[in-house]
Amino acid sequence: MTLENYFAQLTSKLQEVAKQWPTATDKARLGLANELLELRKASDHVIDLWMRFEESLSTVIKTVKEEQLTAFMPEADDEAIAVNTAGSAEDTEPDEAFPAFPVHGEKRHPHEPLFRKGEGFYHLRLYQDAKTCFDELMKHSPDWEMGRLYYAYSLLLSGDQEQGLKEFRLLSRTSSSQRVMSISYNAIGCILADEEQWLEAAQAFKAAIEVDPDYADAHFNLALCYLHDEEVEDAFNSVERYMELEQDDWEAEAIWLRAAQSLVKSDLQTKEMVPPGRLKVPARVLGSNTLYEMATMYEARGQIHRAQLCYVYLREQLPLEGWVYQGLAWNTWLIAGTRVALPLMKKAITLTPENLDFQFTYGWMLLFDGKMDEAIRVFRSILQKKSDHHLTRSGMVSAYERMGEMESARQLARQFLQETDNPYLQSLGYFHLGRLAIMEENWQLADQYFQRVQENDFREVALYRRLCDTKLGKIDTQADTELPIIPLPKP
């Protein structure tokens, strides 16, 4: 029997116990508990056998080294440990094993068996046992850097984050190995990021990069910190550097796209953003997270056809997700109109009937297709379920405006001005009131309203103010008096 088959049988027995336990009688549960004890004995036996094998393997390797045959063996890699990504300190785990013995030419360490035992426990994810071994090792060999690095990770992953952080800080200050030093700084950054101390975490990741400029994980983690701290330009630069070192990482691609989108929205873009590799155009081979971020970026840029293609590929990957059909419907509506988009929107609502934003989008499409009564019925149905649904309240303002019921539209628009804790909603209220004043050709009042709108929220404000200035005689340039569609965020 192969090892795979043996463990498959053990796993099958364990799953059967878990399945039977909730409905088992007291007598049956006693039998199931005995089965669990037997499985625990089997697991302990496997671990014991594996540890014996490891000790024997170390002995044979030692013999081979002593007989001058190390030239035929690969040299141990003393740079194998690496932290993955920031966000959760429990995710910071070594990718590979440390060298179990010194590199060729060095004297064998007298406490190597203890190191080996701790290493074995560590890679079996028995972190508490690993911590005990490495704690003992540090009493005998406090200067063994690899042992201390394993000790720091064992502390961290067994729940003693404070002591683990102290060990990493000690290594970052005293290590003679640049690799160990950069790994320690990176681990410190991950612990701080786990506590949402983004500025301090970023400093730690920068220190790791300063020691090792090609440390890819530190560049990735630094990008995440910048993104959390809304330093989007720095995030963009860091993730670009990471992608030069690591290819085809969908998480990095998603960060690149998110940062690029934020730069476009904030007008902080200082250089042309050339999408790397697979991000040049939408493609089926891309993952759903990457495709979603691409779609969002294309929507921000006004590249609706590319955004639509992203959602086409997303629908192939996630055919039962309502938000995919909503995104596809929205972009299809902008391209081909209501007739083609409505069936897609109905599908989104069918898959996610509790999502009021999807119902609003459906009503919004009806409104701009001239089906006023149907649109208002949809909006009122939403407001009955949630009276403060802001998108729907804004949609009702537009509906009243189109029907010429200006006073009703003004009353609704003024309600947004009461949202003192939400500057965007206040801007939306002033924007609506400005448009209504324009409809009544009250140019002075309209200009006063538009002056109170945050232009970053509504870029059309510049056009409207230019129109008001023209009508008030402040400038001579002829302005286009056709009003653009009121901008509402895509739900």
Instruction: Tell me the pLDDT tens digit for each residue of 477-486.
Output: 554 445 444 4
Q: Which helix (H) or strand (E) holds 52?
A: helix 26-66
Residue 224 neighbours by CB under 8 Å, 6+ apart = 85, 86, 87, 193, 235, 255
- State mean pLDDT over 428-446: 92
Let me know if residue 404 belongs to a domain.
yes
Do residue 370 and residue 402 come from a single domain?
A: no
- 364 and 488 in contact (C-beta within 8 Å)? yes
Pick from 73-77, 120-124, 155-159: least confident: 73-77
Give me 242's structure tokens.
């990471």
Query: How far is the CA of 272 from the CAs of 129, 263, 264, 268, in angstroms?
Result: 53, 11, 11, 11
Let me know if residue 304 belongs to a domain.
no
Give the model's pLDDT for residue 116.
87
Residue 71 carries which DSSP code?
G
pLDDT band at 39; cut points 50, 70, 90: confident
Give the model's pLDDT for residue 300.
75
Q: Is the dihedral of CA 199, 201, 204, 208 positive or negative?
A: negative
Instruction: Tell me the pLDDT tens digit for each residue of 182-213.
Output: 999 999 999 999 888 999 999 999 999 999 99
pLDDT over 90, % of the chain: 40
Do residue 367 and residue 458 come from a single domain?
A: no
Separation CA 208–CA 193 (nearest Å):
14
What does the CA dihedral 365, 371, 377, 382 come to, rounded to 10 degrees?
10
pLDDT band at 473; cut points 50, 70, 90: confident
Burial of residue 254, with CB atoms counted within 10 A of its CB: 0-12 exposed, 13-18 middle, 19 or more buried: buried
Let me know if residue 192 belongs to a domain.
no
CA nearest to 395, candidates 362, 355, 437 = 362
Is pLDDT at 105 greater than 60 in this prediction? no
- State mean pLDDT over 120-143: 89
Residue 114 backbone class (left: φ over 0; alpha: ψ -120 to 50; beta: rest): alpha
Q: Which one is predicted more confidently, 206 or 4?
A: 206
Residue 205 carries which DSSP code?
H
Let me know if residue 491 belongs to a domain.
yes
Q: Which one is predicted more confidently, 364 or 106?
A: 364
Residue 171 neighbours by CB under 8 Å, 6+ apart = 145, 148, 149, 152, 180, 181, 184
Give the model's pLDDT for residue 472.
86
Separation CA 428–CA 411 (nearest Å):
13
Q: Is the dihedral of CA 387, 389, 392, 397 positive or negative?
A: positive
Query: Which of 52, 72, 92 is the last residue before a domain boundary?
Result: 72
Three-class SS of residue 33?
helix
Q: Is the dihedral of CA 432, 437, 443, 444 positive or negative?
A: negative
The average confidence (pLDDT) of the chain is 81
pLDDT band at 353; cut points 50, 70, 90: very high
Let me know if residue 313 belongs to a domain.
no
Does pTM top 0.75 for this prediction? no
Query: How far is the CA of 368 from the CAs of 275, 334, 376, 464, in angstroms?
Result: 35, 11, 12, 21
- State mean pLDDT over 117-127: 86
Is pLDDT at 437 greater than 90 in this prediction? yes
Do residue 379 and residue 412 come from a single domain?
A: no
The amino acid present at 418, given as its one-letter code, is Q
pLDDT band at 41; cut points 50, 70, 90: confident
In 10 A of CB 191, how many CB atoms? 24
Is pLDDT at 467 greater than 70 in this prediction? yes
What does the CA dihedral 236, 487, 344, 311 come to, rounded to 10 degrees?
-10
CA nearest to 329, candidates 347, 341, 319, 339 = 341
Separation CA 314–CA 349 (nearest Å):
17
Is pLDDT at 52 greater than 80 in this prediction? no
Burial of residue 486, with CB atoms counted within 10 A of its CB: 0-12 exposed, 13-18 middle, 19 or more buried: middle
Let me know if residue 158 belongs to a domain.
no
What does the CA dihedral 164, 221, 98, 155 come to, rounded to 10 degrees?
20
Do residue 358 and residue 396 come from a single domain?
A: no
Is pLDDT at 71 greater than 80 in this prediction? no
Query: How far is the CA of 136 from the CAs of 117, 133, 328, 336, in angstroms?
Result: 11, 5, 60, 71
CATH label of the domain that carries residue 414: 1.25.40
Domains: count for the chain: 3
Let me know if residue 232 belongs to a domain.
no
Give the model's pLDDT for residue 75.
37
Burial of residue 54, with CB atoms counted within 10 A of its CB: 0-12 exposed, 13-18 middle, 19 or more buried: middle
Instruction: Tell me the pLDDT tens digit for each residue of 133-185.
Output: 999 999 988 988 889 999 999 999 988 989 999 999 999 998 888 999 999 99
Do residue 378 and residue 405 come from a single domain?
A: no
Q: Which one is predicted more confidently, 311 or 484?
A: 311
Residue 70 carries which DSSP code?
G
Do residue 379 and residue 472 come from a single domain?
A: no
Query: Which of 72, 87, 115 is the last residue before a domain boundary?
Result: 72
Place of tokens 């993952």: 287
Pick from 48-62, 128-142, 275-289, 346-360: least confident: 48-62
Q: Which one is predicted more confidently, 80 or 167?
A: 167
Place of tokens 């998480």: 251
Give me 140's structure tokens.
């005998």
pLDDT band at 237; cut points 50, 70, 90: confident
- 295 and 314 in contact (C-beta within 8 Å)? yes
Let me know if residue 408 belongs to a domain.
yes
Instruction: Tell me the pLDDT tens digit for each residue of 412-424.
Output: 999 999 988 899 9
Instruction: Tell me the pLDDT tens digit for each residue of 266-280.
Output: 665 555 667 766 677
The span from the first CA to the last CA of the chain, in angstroms, equals 56
Q: Which domain holds residue 44?
A: 3-72
Do residue 452 and residue 358 come from a single domain?
A: no
Do residue 481 and residue 400 come from a single domain?
A: yes
Query: Which of 72, 102, 126 is the last residue before a domain boundary?
Result: 72
- State mean pLDDT over 352-371: 93
Do residue 399 and residue 353 come from a single domain?
A: no
Is pLDDT at 309 greater than 90 in this prediction? yes
Do residue 380 and residue 402 come from a single domain?
A: no
Do residue 403 and residue 448 come from a single domain?
A: yes
